[in-house]
Homo-oligomer: A and B are copies of this chain.
Amino acid sequence: MTLPARLSGVLCPVVTPFKTDLSPDPDRLIRQSQWLLSQGVGLAVFGTTSEGNSLSVDEKIALLDRLAEAGIDLSRMMAGTGCCALSDTVRLTRHAVEVGCAGVLMLPPFYYKAVGDDGLFDSYAGVIDRVASDRLRIYLYHIPPVAQVGLSIDLVERLVRRYPDTVVGIKDSSGDWDNTLALLRRRWDDFRVFAGSEGFLLRTLQHGGAGCISATANVNGAAIRRLFLNWRDPQAVAEQEQLDALRRLFQAYPMIPALKAVIAAHTADGEWQTVRPPLVALRTEQKRSLLASLDERAFAMPGLPGRHCINP
């Protein structure tokens, strides 16, 4: 196998479909992934939006195998592999490398809080040294609002300097543009900075960033991709504003159940609404109002597999 190229563009933390018994549904995941790729969107499976930490390592390994068997283009995919236990992170990361993922998106261990940079450095180094593969490409995952354990810029720099061919990028989901800008300004050699949502996409690209990895790409990927391609054009600011408006609409609801509700409606496949606890599916009235506001905007998900049916 050739060494993986570094990723850029718009990637989607693919929502994980569950059956009614709460088991993961590989067939729906394959279809959603195929659809996203057809929209020009790359894949970031097992992210926060994917309920990645609500899946066991065994379940994630089985899903990776099914995606690979289905011929999904793994050169356009990163897999979320950061768990609380070093042993879990090593096992899952190793598997992602073995099946041929272009990269992994790696949370720090997130149970213990207020840990220092030394311990977080040891965590990443412990994984890298144990996986010991020249094919491993790590995109660090900085999402302090959820993980509560963040990655300081000093820590990122230590990792990049120690492992320049392995630690190749970061997803900054801090929601703090100053932090993203500080990362962009470091300009480490070919280091890929992804905005954590499309809200910062234009600014990230203007400052030399690689793209974004965004929850709403699950439903609006083609439009986000368009801005990625056209960011130097005069209409870019207007396109960014349109993306922001759609994003705000989703942000009025719990994001993951809202995305699943919309996919369920657009594919006329109610099982898509299923989430694992501790998440809760949208209530009927929430679903109705979300879909009505999308209807008002003539929102569409072109080429989505399944019957198109916007009404709940």
> B-contacting residues of A (Cβ < 8 Å)?
22, 48, 53-59, 83-88, 91, 108-113, 115-116, 118-120, 122-123, 126, 145-149, 276-280
Number of copies: 2
Closest-CB distance, A7 to chain B (whole angstroms): 24
A48 to B86, CA, bound (A): 16
Q: Which of B88, B108, B116 contacts A280 (CB 8 A)?
A: B116
A277 contacts B86, C-beta separation under 8 Å: yes
Known: A126-B22, A148-B148. A278 touches B115 (CB 8 A): yes
Chain B's closest residue to A115 (CB) is B278
| Contact assessment for A278 and B85 in the assembled complex, using a CB-CB cutoff below 8 Å | no
A126 to chain B, nearest CB (A): 6
Distance in angstroms from A60 CB to nearest chain B CB is: 9
Whether A113 contacts B145 in the complex (CB less than 8 A), given A55-B87, A84-B53, A84-B54, comes out as yes
The complex places the Cα of A122 from the Cα of B280 at a distance, in Å, of: 9
The distance from the CB of A53 to the nearest CB of chain B, in whole angstroms, is: 4
Q: What residues of chain B lie closer than 8 Å to A126, measured between beta carbons? A: 22, 277
* A57 touches which of B56, B112, B146 (Cβ 8 Å): B56
A86 and B122 form a contact (CB under 8 A) = no
Most B Cβ at <10 Å: residue of A118, A119, A123: A119
| Minimum C-beta distance from A207 to chain B (A) | 29
Of B59, B109, B147, the residue contacting A85 (CB under 8 A) is B59
B contact residues around A276 at 8 Å (CB): 85-86
Asked whether, in the complex, the Cβ of A148 is within 8 Å of the Cβ of B91, the reply is no
Query: What chain B residues lie within 8 Å of A279 (beta carbons)?
Result: 112, 115, 119
Q: Within the assembled complex, what's the spacing in Å between the Cα atoms of A55 and B111?
A: 11
By secondary structure, the A interface counts as loop
- Bound Cα distance A4, B56 (Å): 29
Most chain B beta-carbon neighbours within 10 Å: one of A57, A85, A91, A108: A85
Between-chain CB contacts (< 8 Å), 28 pairs? A22-B86, A22-B126, A53-B85, A53-B112, A54-B112, A55-B85, A56-B85, A56-B88, A56-B91, A58-B87, A59-B85, A84-B84, A85-B276, A86-B276, A111-B146, A112-B279, A113-B148, A115-B279, A118-B280, A119-B277, A119-B279, A119-B280, A120-B278, A122-B278, A123-B277, A123-B278, A126-B277, A149-B278
Contact of A108 among B22, B91, B278 (CB under 8 A): B278
* CB-based nearest B residue for A149: B278
Q: CA of A100 to CA of B280 in the docked complex: distance in angstroms? A: 33
A4 to chain B, nearest CB (A): 25
Among candidates B59, B108, B111, residue contacting A54 with C-beta atoms closer than 8 Å:
B111
Q: A145 contacts which chain B residues (CB < 8 A)?
A: 113
Whole-angstrom distance between the Cβ of A46 and the nearest chain B Cβ: 11
In the docked arrangement, what's the CA distance between A227 and B62, Å?
51
In the complex, what residue of chain B is closest to A23 when comparing beta carbons? B87
Closest chain B CB from A131 CB (angstroms): 14
User: In the assembled complex, how far is the CB of residue A173 from the closest CB belonging to chain B, in whole angstroms?
Assistant: 13
